[in-house]
Structure 1
Amino acid sequence: MISQIAFLLLSPLAIASPISPEAANAGAASVNPAAQGKPASEGVTTFDGVALANIKDAPSVAAVTAAAIDRTGWTCTVDSANDGDPCTNVLDGDTTTIWHTQYNPTVAALPHEITIDMQASYLVGSVTYQPRQDGTPNGNIGGHVISLSGDGDTYTDVAYGTYIDDTTLKTTTFTPTNGRYMRLTALTEAGGRGTWTSASEINVYTAAGNAPPPAAGNGAWGPTIDFPLVPVSLANEFSSGNLLAWSSYDPSTFGGSNGAQTITATYAIGSNTVTSALVTNTQHDMFCEGLSLDFHGNNIATGGNTASATSIFNSAAGGWTKGNAMNIARGYAAQVTVSTGNTFVIGASWSGGEGGKNAELFNGNTWGLLGGAPVAPMLTADAQGVYRADNHGWLFGWKGGSVFQAGPSVAMNWYGTDGGGSQTAAGNRAGDGDSMCGNAAMYDAAAGKILTVGGAPNYQNIDATSNAHIITLGDPDTEPTVQTIGNMAYQRIFGNSVILPDGTVLIIGGQVYGNPFSDDTAQFTPELFNPADNSFTQLAPMAIPRTYHSTAVLMPDARVISAGGGLCGTCATNHYDGQIFSPPYLFTGGARPVISAVSTDTVGVGGTFTATTTGAVSDGFSLIRMSSTTHTVNTDQRRIALTPSGADGNTYTLTLPDDAGITMPGWWMLFALNDGVPSTATTIQVTAD
């Protein structure tokens, strides 16, 4: 761990893009903890309960310039430059000079590119781009690609995405890659003001040594995706296969007075582009929301900064609509879709007052209180009291409209959603304690198996655990079986878990010591849980820390995106990016199977359909429900292994489990597996009838 901390402090990972003074004044510096029910020491300004004195300020531009590789002797070439604004201005250390593409007598068309020859090969780990500082935003780079080359002819893309349209320093960090030439290609002008591009300074950062080859069987980290916000929430879009991300009313902070909007971004996986949109029509700041996907694949976002609001994102329509308000104002809610099609929510004292956050149920139109489903049995013994004790419950929709609460409290419970609701104690997780901001994942829904890992007794300022357990569910209201298994290699709080097509579970990111808005004690090495022997295997380490407010989800191509962290105004731990991880199964040497056709793209619970592949499939198929995640919680994801009941050549007959509590209706990704290698997914909607 000492080496990890040293790496963080000495590398450009600690450099982040600060927000503008105006945004900072509207955000972190103006947070009133008392008004939001947050604990605060007298006379100390806090940010979500953390003293601002403990949050590291982002470095100045001058400090960043001094820390970069010495640019003496570097040269540059561009596709276009206006007279008097050559590309050498980005290498002169003077933020008052700029490179600007031609705009007189004619305007040069996008895309534009600048290529820097560093005159020697370096192990490059990050690039900073400083927009012009003269008060004119024209030419700020939006959509972009960063590429490296050893010979100036063959380039490898290491990052792409979209920068925020402001004057702050932009940092892109990626897996260290050897290169002599760095190319920054501008695809769009950030504000859509024209087809020009400008830059004040560009710096490149390195680490000593050569890029190590990836260890066999450990997976690999790929390109970085720059977002124009900190992606605190992520969700699969069924209609396009894209990913939807959002932060708060501001790209980099929360808690300000302008709480009736949310800034979102869409990552188009196929084109590697990121676009942003400001959502105002729902009058909802969706930061710290409860989140789940309904039977139709719609995102249901509840509470948070706007503590009573409900917003609904329709993937097919590509837009948000305003839903009816909840009866109880909430922030940091536990929320899950149940087998009746309703949405169950409970807890959440981060906003909207503290305590008494009993359950309620949403039928897609109205909310109804469930007086028989109290929150008290699932509270942790957090040092900060109920403000934290009812946060981020681990919920699973199960048979007969029931909800199983697996944690983070050591006490587990069953909740019923019929009538006025009900609650039945379900025992404790043997050998565990309260595990706030740990993870739980239903990796084998047909068998009712849930993996739980990590977390801590308190929300913050405490060591995390490496504990791991398997919970096996039976019928509702019966006590499940709890098995203590060998611990993870690392302690983790604020990490994420992602169920993979082969039934393994990727555990990623987190910290040893829970400290929101800090990357100290970050865990860079992911682990892979294998249910065959309940073991954990360490995988290829990542380059970017993913701690508080980080996210991770499975993509349709069987890779994983790990994103975000921060959202703390001018702090140095804002991570405006995600990075793609290719799991070990993509490096076995086996060809990926291909699903060429399915007999239907809509199938009912318990229904039968066929899937045709271009070659033999040795390991059957798996269904993984599309998911949404925020604040370590993903109550949507679950996996069902499908063994063919018959085959006609390469056409296989598949039958779904006949209980909606297992095969939760909604949109699922269907994967074929051959010799452990998954296909790219085909999307299927499971319906309730």
Structure 2
Amino acid sequence: MLHKSTALALFTICLTVTHARPSGGSLYPRVAVDAVVAGNAAVAQAVPIDRTGWTVTADSYQPGNEPSNVLDGNTGTFWHTEYSPTNAALPHNLTIDLKALYWINGLSYLPRQDGSSNGNIGQHIIQLSADNSNWVTVATGTYLNDASLKQTLFASTHARYVRLTAQTEAQGAGNPWTKINLHDGSGKSSYSPPPTSLGQWGETIDFPIVPVAAVVLNTGKVLTWSSFEANSFSGGGGLTQTATYDPSTGIVSQRTVTNTGHDMFCPGLSIDASGRTVVTGGNNDLKTSIYNPASDAWVSAANMNITRGYQAQVTLFDGRIFVIGGSWSDGTASKGGKNGEIYNSTTNTWTELPGCPVAPMLTQDAQGVYRADNHGWLFGWKNGFVFQAGPSKAMNWYGMAGSGTQEAAGNRGDDADAMNGNAVMYDAVNGKILAIGGATSYQDTTATSNAHIITIGAPNTTATVTTIGSMVYARGFANSIVLPDGKVFIVGGQKYVEPFSDDTAVYYPEMWDPTTQKFTTLNPMYTPRTYHSVALLLPDGTVFSGGGGLCGTCTTNHFDAQIYSPPYLFNTDGSRATRPKITSASPTSIKVGGSIVVATDSAVTSFSLIRQGSATHSVDTDQRRIALTPTGSGTSYTVAVPSDPGIAIPGYWMLFALTSAGVPSLAQTILVTL
């Protein structure tokens, strides 16, 4: 509990509003004391709010350190909860009455600055209210246990009262003080919340790390990690800071993984046939580590034969794992040559595949091979083949037989190299891949808005490429997520790619419709998601979007994520759509080619399977969607899983039922086996 000089100590309050709204281009908010940046990088006029008359209350305080101290603007005074004659137990909360309604979308918390971490807040809840009775939770999570400023942005909410509740300590106790910044508001009445027809950004989840890599587990939880430090990747090794988010409880737990001796920053990443997360290389460039959700344990696996960092990795039709590229691990003096190799989890062995050369998939990056073989777009496919769709403009087939094979698959239409773009298989049955964005070099260059549909069929044949209308925004470092209805959600990125910078960040997501082949601009998010950001589809049909940064004491570290609810979760009047329910599915472990009998609580018209995803550095080689055509009617249906394991890659999938309006159910977890 919070003990001796306990609690949420000193608040310094600064509220600002701006009358500026985006007038085209991207919205560029900045967490700052008295300014918001809006429009095309133009600084909006900030209007300080008069704090006269504000009051503050707390659940407990020590005489001499009253809650009113948070309003005096003096960092030398503070509020803390009672520790004498009794030590008040957690949770503790502090509530500020602003005396008028404002549109609020941010809170910053700065722990004590006297060198002690005693009393730093861990798990917490941020809530807002218009009447001090009905409270809306806008953020949850766990803060990093250090003295740095914690910044939380969330969906703009009309409120008069701000409440911060500390649920646990962050490995200690102490006297934190909090600074509240209100951004992206427009006074008391002129701001209009964005329409739900363009989706809605929901609760913010605070993390004790910058989530640079993320995996959806078969438990429904999201596993994330950074590097050996929570906010930096340079200078360490041999351990990894992780954090796990449980959507069912909102709790973010943290763990330092030391037993594998592996700093898992900048790795190869994929989910194997049994649902385990396989992480290779990175800062410890030969290592392989595996996380097993069933045992909640990390274990070491065999080392790779070739040192790698920023390599590409994908799970195959037979459960083996292929990896290629990764010259980042050797620095700028690298000579490349990071040819393919393959991992067999049954024998725990890596085997080099000299017949799978990396040279055909190199980009013409300005920094040379150090960057040219990074972050390949790989797709496991039929008969033991892997299709490489990018980022090089040249596409290739890699075969796993014997010592490996390679065949050119043609160029990606008229596209140039597209480093830090991405691709997603939105229709696996028909071999359909959407490829978007990227840049000709890894950094310091302009991104593209290009978009192409790639169609693959028989291995070792030329892929069909169709150039489609461009995205609304040029993007590098973005993420793409296929949704249950087959549409693709594109989030984050930069117009000019520059690692560890939020300049030219794109705040507006887009939705691509495979039927119309059009891109639609959606409601803007509140935090930039650029280099080192991640995004994943969750089992409830929402999207987890978070991270960005990992650059030490820089200002572009984002220790949070936010949940996006796509338009299919809303009615035309803005209310929440009634979702169908899968009441039973049998079996939940099925071999390829088998059938699943599904019962629902109401009539549905279609089903889809989406493989659980893993994301880092704008790449997710696990996610893919299979559209399922049901037989049956009423509330009883049968769906068949494709018989080709190159389409239905073995592993855990999310089964969704959809209404005629495209409203998805919560997912039923299905294990596809050989």
Same fold (TM over 0.5): yes
TM-score (norm: length of structure 1): 0.89
Q: In the alignment, is residue 92 of structure 1 matched against residue 92 of structure 2?
A: no
8 Å contact from structure 2 (residues 185, 191) kept in 1: no
Report SS of the residue matched to 1:176. strand
Preserved contact between residue 105 and residue 185 of structure 2 (Cα < 8 Å): no
Distance in 1 between residues matched to 2:26 and 2:456, nearest whole Å: 40
Structure 1 residues 639-650: aligned runs within 5 Å: 639-647=625-633, 649-650=634-635
Q: How has the CA–CA distance of structure 1 residues 205 and 213 changed in structure 2, closer, same or farther, with 3 Å as cutoff?
A: closer
Match of 1:544 among 523, 527, 531: 527
Aligned-partner Cα distance in 1 for 2:27–2:519: 26
Alignment of 1:263-278 (within 5 A): 263-278=241-256
Q: Give how far 1:567 is off.
A: 0.5
Tell me the equivalent position of 1:534: 517
CA distance in 2, matches of 1:622, 1:268: 24
Aligned twin of 2:550? 567
Matches within 5 A, 1:225-624: 225-238=205-218, 240-256=219-235, 258-352=236-330, 354=334, 355-364=336-345, 365-588=348-571, 590-618=577-605, 620-624=606-610
Query: Are 1:588 and 1:677, in contact at CA under 8 Å, matched by a contact in 2?
Result: no
Residue of structure 2 equivalent to 1:56:
none
The corresponding residue for 2:127 is: 147
> Where do 1:129-148 residues align within 5 Å?
129-148=109-128
Match of residue 171 from structure 1: 151
Query: Alpha carbons of 1:86 and 1:281: their partners in 2 closer, same or farther (altered >3 Å)?
Result: same
Aligned to 1:630: 616
Please name the residue that 1:669 is paired with: 654
Offset at residue 135 of structure 1 (A): 2.8
Query: Cα distance 1:606–1:462, how it changes in 2: closer, same or farther (>3 A)?
Result: same
Worse-superposed segment, 76-85 or 229-238: 76-85
Alignment-mate amino acid for residue 590 of structure 2? V
Report how far residue 498 of structure 1 moved: 0.4
Give the whole-Å Cα distance in 2 for the aligned partners of 1:540 and 1:598: 35
Do the aligned partners of 1:142 and 1:165 also contact (CA within 8 Å) in 2? yes
8 Å CA contact 2:231, 2:551 repeated in 1: yes
Paired residue for 2:42? none
Cα distance in 1 for partners of 2:588, 2:299 equals 26
Partner of 2:192: 212
Find the aligned partners of 2:101 and 2:249 in 1 and give their Cα distance.
Answer: 29
Secondary structure at 2:29's aligned position in 1? helix
Structure 1 residue 149 displacement after superposition: 1.1
Aligned partner letter, 1:527:
E
**Cα deviation 1:206-241 (Å, max 9, x = unaligned):** 344144232252001011100001000010110x20
Distance, in Å, in 1 between the alignment partners of 2:175 and 2:33 is 23
**How far apart, CA to CA, are the structure 1 residues paired with 2:401 and 2:471?**
38
Contact 2:318–2:650 (8 Å) recurs in 1 = no
CA contact (8 A) 1:360 1:368 kept: yes
In structure 1, the residue corresponding to 2:68 is in which secondary structure? Answer: helix
Q: String of CA shifts for 1:345-375, please: whole Å, max 9, x gaps.
A: 0001111352010000000111110000000
- For residues 318-369 of structure 1, the C-alpha deviation after alignment (integer angstroms, 9 at most, x for no partner) is 1211111110010001000011211100001111352010000000111110
Matches of 1:474 and 1:5, distance apart in 2: 38
- Give the Cα separation in 1 of the matches to 2:281 and 2:35: 32
Question: Structure 1, residues 657-677: CA drift from partner, whole Å, max 9, x if none?
Answer: 100000001000000000210
Q: Identity, % of aligned pairs?
A: 56
Query: In structure 2, the residue corresponding to 1:321 is in which secondary structure?
Result: strand
Write the letter of the residue equivalent to 1:359: G
Distance 1:485 1:529, change over 3 A: same
Counterpart of 1:189, as a letter, is E
* Distance (whole Å) between structure 1 residues aligned to residue 118 and residue 648 of structure 2: 52
DSSP 3-state at the match of 2:279: strand
Q: Secondary structure at the match of 2:157?
A: strand
Is residue 203 from structure 1 mapped to residue 224 from structure 2 by the alignment? no
The CA deviation at 1:11 is: 5.6
RMSD over aligned Cα atoms: 1.8
Rounded to whole Å, the distance in 1 between the matches of 2:556 and 2:569 is 31
Q: Please say if residues 90 and 199 of structure 1, whose CA atoms lie closer than 8 Å, have aligned partners that are also in contact.
A: no
**In structure 2, how many angstroms separate the alpha carbons of the residues matched to 1:12 and 1:525?**
24
Q: Aligned residue pairs: how many?
A: 631
Equivalent AA in structure 2 for residue 468 of structure 1 = A
1:140 CA drift (Å):
0.9
SS at match of 1:205: coil
Unaligned 5+ segments in structure 1 are 16-65
SS of 2:69's equivalent in the other structure is: helix
What is the Cα deviation at residue 528 of structure 1? 0.5
Shift of 1:103: 1.5
Alpha carbons of 1:201 and 1:4: their partners in 2 closer, same or farther (altered >3 Å)?
A: farther
1:90 is displaced (CA, Å) by 2.4
> Which amino acid counterpart does residue 86 of structure 2 have in structure 1?
T
- Quick check: 2:223–2:243 contact (8 Å CA) kept in 1? yes
- Is 2:361–2:390's contact at 8 Å kept on the other side of the alignment? yes
SS of structure 1 residue aligned to 2:414: coil
Structure 2 partner of 1:60: none
Letter in 2 for 1:611: V
Q: Which moved more, 1:6-15 or 1:127-136?
A: 6-15
Q: Within 1, Cα distance between the matches of 2:24 and 2:607?
A: 41
Classify 1:12/1:503 alpha carbon distance in 2 versus 1 (closer, same or farther; 3 Å). farther
5+ residue gaps, structure 2: 1-21, 37-45
Q: Distance in 1 between matches of 2:591 and 2:342?
A: 24
Distance 1:529 1:231, change over 3 A: same
- Per the normalisation by structure 2, the TM-score is 0.91
* Aligned-partner Cα distance in 2 for 1:95–1:5: 36
Determine if contact 1:340/1:400 at 8 Å carries over to the other structure: no
Amino acid at match of 1:150: A
Partner of 1:62: none
Instruction: Give yes or no for contact 2:395–2:411 (8 Å, CA) kept in 1.
Output: yes
C-alpha displacement of 1:68:
7.4
Contact 2:538 2:544 in 1 (8 A): yes
- Secondary structure of the 1:267 match is strand
SS across alignment from 2:119:
coil
> Measured at CA, do residues 427 and 5 of structure 1 come closer, stay the same or move farther in structure 2, by a change above 3 Å?
closer
1:161 and 2:148 are equivalent in the alignment: no
- Which whole-Å deviations, capped at 9, do the CAs of 1:641-661 have from their partners, x for residues lacking one? 1111334x4111111110000
SS in 2 for 1:206: coil
Partner Cα separation in structure 2 for residue 639 and residue 656 of structure 1: 12
Report if the CA contact (8 A) 2:479-2:493 is conserved.
Answer: yes
**Superposition deviation, residue 588 in structure 1:** 2.8
For 2:584 and 2:536, the matched residues in 1 are separated by 25
| Alignment-mate amino acid for residue 585 of structure 2 | V
Q: 1:389 to 1:115 in 2, by over 3 A?
A: same
